Amino acid sequence: MSTRGETAELLAAQYLSNQGLKLLKRNYRCRHGEIDLILQDGDTLVFAEVRLRSHNHYGGAAASINAAKQKRLIRTAQHYLATLGYTPPCRFDALLFHNLDNGWPEWIRNAFTA
């Protein structure tokens, strides 16, 4: 991962922590893909995708979470849930940085559903 990408993930984790979420895991990987951040928001398990785009060519940060990426995230989340032995309420959030100079990300709760 690029240094800029790592910085974006660290900033996103810090931002969400400031919002009251508890970080459980960073960069969860399995054969299906990777989830940037897994957090606890009350009773809800949050799978967060962090995206950094310095320009809006091809739709920008939000558009980069296309149907194929969503499918990989859902499969990876299912793999993680299987390790827990139970299924809590879950959601998929997106944290979008348009560049690293603007401070905090745009936070989209329930960016897509499984």
The string of pLDDT tens digits covering residues 27-86 is 999 999 999 999 999 999 999 999 886 555 544 555 567 788 889 999 999 999 999 989
Return the structure tokens found at 92.
Answer: 């998929």
Task: Supply the CATH number for residue 77's domain.
Answer: 3.40.1350.10
- Counting other chains too, the contacts that 16-25 makes at CB distance below 8 Å and 24 or more residues apart are 16/46, 16/48, 16/95, 16/107, 19/107, 21/46, 25/80
pLDDT higher for 25 or 98?
25
Domain containing residue 27: 3-112
Residues paired with 94 in a beta bridge:
49, 108
Question: What pLDDT shows up at residue 61?
Answer: 52
Query: Burial, 57: exposed, middle or buried (Cβ in 10 Å; 0-12, 13-18, 19+)?
Result: exposed
pLDDT higher for 4 or 42?
42
For the full predicted model, state whether its pTM sits above 0.85.
yes
Question: What pLDDT shows up at residue 58?
Answer: 47
Task: Compute the distance between CA of residue 14 and CA of residue 23 in angstroms, rounded to an integer.
Answer: 9
Number of structural domains the chain divides into: 1
Return the structure tokens found at 49.
Answer: 């995708």
